[in-house]
Amino acid sequence: MKESKQLGLFALIALVVGSMIGSGAFNLAGDMALGANAGAILIGWIITGIGIVALGLAFQYLSIHKPDLDSGIYSYAKEGFGPFLGFSSAWGYWLSAWLGNIAYATLVMSSIGYFIPVFEGGQNVASIIGASVLLWGVHFLVLRGVHSAAFINTITTICKVIPIFLFILITLFFFNIDKFTFEFWGSGGFSWSSVASQVKSTMLVTLWVFIGVEGAVVMSARAKSKSDVGKATVIGLISVLLIYVFITIVSMGVMTREELAALPTPTMAYVFEAVVGKWGAVFINMGLIISILGAWLSWTLFAAELPYEAAKDRVFPKWLAKENINKAPVNSLWLTNGLVQVFLITLLFTDKAYNFMFSLASSAILIPYMLSAFYQVKLVSIKENRKQFIIGIIASIYTIWLVYAGGLDYLLLTMLLYAPGILIYKYTQKEYGVTRKDTAFEIALMIIFVILAVVALAEIFTGKIDF
């Protein structure tokens, strides 16, 4: 029997929250402490809060005023800037989705390794086998239907926030203001250059934990009401922002920056263990396993949905538009998880695979986010809506800042992933019999993508980019 149910407001909020609160929340304090002190981290949160809320409001506005653009994150780029940038946005978002799932696989096996030592570290042969079993378990769950998977995601989202709330509430009672303010700006005190560098170091971390803000937009074609898409985006975003800020602050009031940075993953487990004892680490690790499995499920939905919608919109190859009897995007799902399986093997050869994969996933999604913000500016400038124009400008500045803060290495590695997409773009145009010629601007972008990809390869082979 074919699945006909659609997603309501609560399910959409759960998708947004569930996709954002994944592995990153549980390692947030440690990841930020690697490059920044408390003062710079607070500034980073202010910048991120303003920027990500503006981006969320842009998604809300676009979902309401452009309800016909059902695939959101890529269709905004296509509508606003033409087919090549539309394709590139879809390609980058899809890359980010399945690369993020590799990061999830690494951390979930590391957490299981807390209980079963054979998986310790999450980067050995046993971990790859275990992650592969989970990968295909999620795969066949999604094949049963998007609504069924979304329902399970709602349950796991509720389960994952319980340990996080408990962590925040209990750790607040042990908050030490002296530890929080110790070397607040760094050992040398405040200096603009030092603080700016520290703030930059937090940007890909904060972006990683907010990837998924567009989750309701990606699934908007399956929503009961288009107005619920915007509501779910804003409600989910504000809720998660508050949770993240509290996680970071209470952790830095329990341990110094150096202590946090030296902790194994997941940081939250060992912070909680320092506060309440061994059971705290057990509790958090169990919560993390549930959290990642829920986020993994959400991102498998997104990663499969976008190529499917793009194929229906004649942006990706036709065969990706195939559904099974349960209305699940079957070919898109097989391709996506097949690539995840192949790339899981690379965990054996990459130091700190989790950090590398989440940074690469964050970098890959920057272009889709940037183009969505730019489209908001273009759309409202025509309609002369000053409020929405300002929101679009803030979101655009934020996404440009993220590209800068991410650094040249990750930009080059991202282009190494984007450049092969040009071949798929050309193949798709030929498959659909598109006679439109690329504009001079589009040709220039293709050339830039290829040049930067070649530079990336050269930097890798010479050892200047280190994995």
Please give the Cα distance from 297 to 304 (Å, whole number).
11
Please give the Cα distance from 33 to 172 (Å, whole number).
19
- pLDDT of the residue at 23: 67
24 in Cβ contact with 15 (< 8 Å): no
Q: Which helix (H) or strand (E) segment is 124 a member of?
A: none
433-443 pLDDT per residue, tens:
988 899 999 99
Comparing 222 with 55, which gets the higher pLDDT?
A: 55
- pLDDT of the residue at 4: 44
- pLDDT of the residue at 266: 82
For residue 7, the SS3 value is strand
In the chain, the N- to C-terminal Cα span, in Å, equals: 47
- Which residue, 368, 357, 215, 369, is CA-closest to 300? 215
Residue 203 CA to its chain's centroid (Å): 13
The CA-atom distances, in angstroms, between 137 and each of 70, 130, 144, 300 are: 28, 11, 11, 11
Which DSSP string do the residues of 277-319 spell out, in sequence order? -HHHHHHHHHHHHHHHHHHHHHHHHHHHHHHHHHHHTTSS-GG
- pLDDT of the residue at 106: 81
- Model confidence at 114, pLDDT cuts 50, 70, 90, reads confident
226-265 pLDDT per residue, tens:
677 777 878 888 888 899 999 999 999 999 988 998 888 7
Comparing 45 with 103, which gets the higher pLDDT?
A: 45
Q: Which range has the top average pLDDT, 109-118, 374-383, 424-433?
A: 424-433
405-431 pLDDT per residue, tens:
877 888 888 898 899 999 999 999 999
Please give the Cα distance from 276 to 32 (Å, whole number).
23
Angle (CA) 152-156-161 rounded to 5° is 155
Mean pLDDT of 201-208: 84
Residues in the chain: 467
* Residue 67 φ/ψ, nearest 5 degrees: -65, -20
The burial of 224, by beta-carbon neighbours within 10 Å (0-12 exposed, 13-18 middle, 19 or more buried), is given as: middle
Using the predicted structure, report yes or no on whether residue 67 has a pLDDT greater than 50: yes
Mean pLDDT of 107-116: 84
The helices-and-strands tally (H runs, E runs) of the chain is 21, 0
According to DSSP, residue 223 is labeled B
- pLDDT of the residue at 290: 81
291-335 pLDDT per residue, tens:
777 778 777 877 888 888 889 888 899 999 998 887 888 999 999
Q: Which range has the top average pLDDT, 82-86, 145-149, 180-184?
A: 82-86
- pLDDT of the residue at 220: 61
Spans of all domains in the chain:
9-410
pTM of the entire predicted model: 0.82
Mean pLDDT of 52-61: 86
Say how many C-beta atoms besides its own lie within 10 A of residue 117's C-beta. Answer: 10
Comparing 33 with 210, which gets the higher pLDDT?
A: 33
Lowest mean pLDDT among 57-61, 152-156, 267-271, 453-457: 152-156
- Which residue, 313, 187, 265, 262, is CA-closest to 24? 265
Residue 362's contacts (CB-CB under 8 Å, 6 or more residues apart) are 96, 204, 207, 208, 211, 406, 410
Written out in words, the top-level CATH class of the domain with range 9-410 is mainly alpha
366 in Cβ contact with 414 (< 8 Å): yes
218 in Cβ contact with 305 (< 8 Å): yes
